[in-house]
């Protein structure tokens, strides 16, 4: 690996310290108390020469990515759309004049779509989750992140990844995924079902979505959901790890977002995930930032690049961060 992140210089990348609080009885709580084992520094990166971000094209699939998108779309069938909508999602059709032009909304047959949702308390700092794409248990947690509309700092842990897999072992004592750290409460834990219970109790209304409450059936359908992308987002590709995480606006239920996340995981690139499923107020935030809403969208503070379009984002990430 060309470079390893200097975790002590980047405040979001850390173990959790502090005096322990009384654990809830409904799930086990682990405390992350070890120092992160790293002595290397991150590698500076630059955008590819003469790089120009593409113009966004709504609902367009680049011909060479057709089968990738079809394969990633199979998850929508097996998971019945879980991860597409925020908790409490509702929709109504209103006249075009009912929603101002400076507010995000879809337009259908001369009407605008008004979308609402019900959000719980918002964490002050992003939840930190160590996981990888090719894991059905990790997918369960990513789905609840979309439902609760949480911002998450993802630390990818692909097979043979040299940075964050060892960190999880040091922090929690096991090479097991997903592993969650909540810097807002000092709580850390393994086990996808326990993480889901914790997140809905802390940042939701306490109820677990039906498709995430079916035990073994949930796990099986999560596995079936990955058939179309078997092996993608699971194995490490040697890369240059940058000083700051890439920021990704995306959501679990989108096949376009999926192919970008796979590459971020394979390159072991930490990324701040701005979840923006249907009903998310962050859709309006991105609309105000760019004058357009489309997912995925990335902002790379290491190069200054900001761009839409999944196929081109994949190419950008590989050209910028894969070790030559």
Please say whether the beta carbons of 208 and 196 come within 8 A: yes
- Which of 261, 283, 285, 296 minimizes the C-alpha distance to 89? 283
Structure confidence at residue 42 as a pLDDT band (50, 70, 90): confident
| Beta pairing, strands 271-275 & 151-156 | antiparallel
Q: Taking residues 238-246, report their average pLDDT.
A: 95
> What are residue 284's phi and psi, to 5 degrees?
-65, -40
Higher-pLDDT residue of 42 and 200 is 200
Query: Per the domain annotation, does 102 fall within a domain?
Result: no
Residues in the chain: 324
Structure confidence at residue 75 as a pLDDT band (50, 70, 90): very high
Query: Per the domain annotation, does 149 fall within a domain?
Result: yes
Q: Taking residues 60-84, report their average pLDDT.
A: 96
Query: Per the domain annotation, does 294 fall within a domain?
Result: yes
CATH code of 159's domain: 3.40.30.10
| Lowest mean pLDDT across 48-57, 117-126, 131-140, 197-206 | 48-57
**Residue 315, domain extent:** 63-86+122-321
| Lowest mean pLDDT across 24-28, 58-62, 101-105, 149-153 | 24-28
Residue 153's pLDDT is 98
* pLDDT tens column, 109-123: 889 999 999 999 999
Residue 52's pLDDT is 93
Mean pLDDT of the chain: 89
Q: Taking residues 119-142, report their average pLDDT.
A: 97
* pLDDT tens column, 215-225: 999 999 999 99
User: For the whole model, what pTM was predicted?
Assistant: 0.87
Evaluate if residue 5 carries a pLDDT over 50.
no
Structure confidence at residue 208 as a pLDDT band (50, 70, 90): very high
Query: Per the domain annotation, does 80 fall within a domain?
Result: yes
Evaluate if residue 21 carries a pLDDT over 80.
no
Residue 41's pLDDT is 53
Tokens of 107: 């337009």
Query: Per the domain annotation, does 220 fall within a domain?
Result: yes
3-state class (DSSP) for residue 5: coil
Structure confidence at residue 12 as a pLDDT band (50, 70, 90): very low
Query: Per the domain annotation, does 155 fall within a domain?
Result: yes
Query: Per the domain annotation, does 103 fall within a domain?
Result: no
Evaluate if residue 30 carries a pLDDT over 70.
no
Structure confidence at residue 108 as a pLDDT band (50, 70, 90): confident
Q: How far is CA 92 from CA 21, 104, 227, 283, in A?
A: 44, 14, 34, 17
Query: Per the domain annotation, does 24 fall within a domain?
Result: no
Residue 43's pLDDT is 78
* pLDDT tens column, 165-181: 999 999 999 999 999 99
Count of domains forming the chain: 1
Structure confidence at residue 6 as a pLDDT band (50, 70, 90): very low
Residue 22's pLDDT is 38
Please say whether the beta carbons of 83 and 255 come within 8 A: no
Residue 2's pLDDT is 38
* Percent share of the chain, pLDDT over 90: 81
Cβ burial, residue 266 (10 Å; 0-12/13-18/19+): buried
Q: What angle do CA 57, 61, 66 make, to 5 degrees?
A: 170
């Amino acid at each position: 690996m060309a470079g390893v992140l200097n975790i002590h210089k980047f405040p979001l990348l850390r173990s959790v310290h502090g005096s322990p609080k009384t654990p809830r009885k409904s799930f086990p709580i682990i405390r992350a108390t070890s120092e992160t084992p790293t002595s290397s520094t991150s590698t500076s990166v630059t955008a590819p020469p003469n790089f120009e971000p593409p113009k966004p094209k709504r609902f367009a699939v680049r011909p060479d990515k057709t089968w990738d998108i079809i394969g990633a779309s199979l998850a929508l069938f097996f998971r019945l759309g879980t991860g597409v909508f925020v908790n409490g999602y509702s929709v109504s059709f209103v006249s075009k004049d009912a929603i101002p032009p400076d507010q995000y909304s879809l337009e259908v047959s001369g009407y605008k779509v008004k979308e609402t949702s019900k959000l719980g308390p918002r964490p002050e700092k992003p939840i930190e989750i160590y996981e990888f794409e090719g894991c059905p248990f990790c997918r369960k947690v990513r789905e609840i992140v979309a439902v609760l509309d949480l911002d998450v700092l993802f630390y990818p842990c692909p097979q043979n990844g040299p940075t964050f897999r060892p960190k999880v072992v040091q922090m929690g004592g096991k090479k097991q995924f997903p592993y969650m750290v909540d810097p807002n409460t000092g709580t850390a834990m393994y086990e996808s079902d326990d993480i889901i219970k914790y997140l809905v109790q802390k940042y939701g209304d306490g109820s677990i979505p039906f498709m995430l409450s079916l035990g073994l059936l949930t796990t099986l359908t999560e596995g079936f959901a990955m058939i179309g992308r078997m092996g993608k987002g699971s194995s490490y590709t040697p890369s240059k790890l940058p000083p700051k995480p890439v920021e990704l606006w995306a959501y679990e239920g989108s096949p376009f977002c999926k192919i970008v996340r796979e590459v971020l995981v394979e390159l072991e690139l930490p990324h701040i995930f701005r979840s923006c499923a249907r009903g998310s107020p962050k859709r309006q935030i991105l609309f105000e930032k760019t004058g357009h809403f489309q997912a995925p969208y990335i902002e790379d503070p290491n190069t200054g690049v900001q761009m839409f379009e999944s196929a081109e984002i994949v190419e950008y990430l590989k050209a910028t961060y894969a070790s030559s």
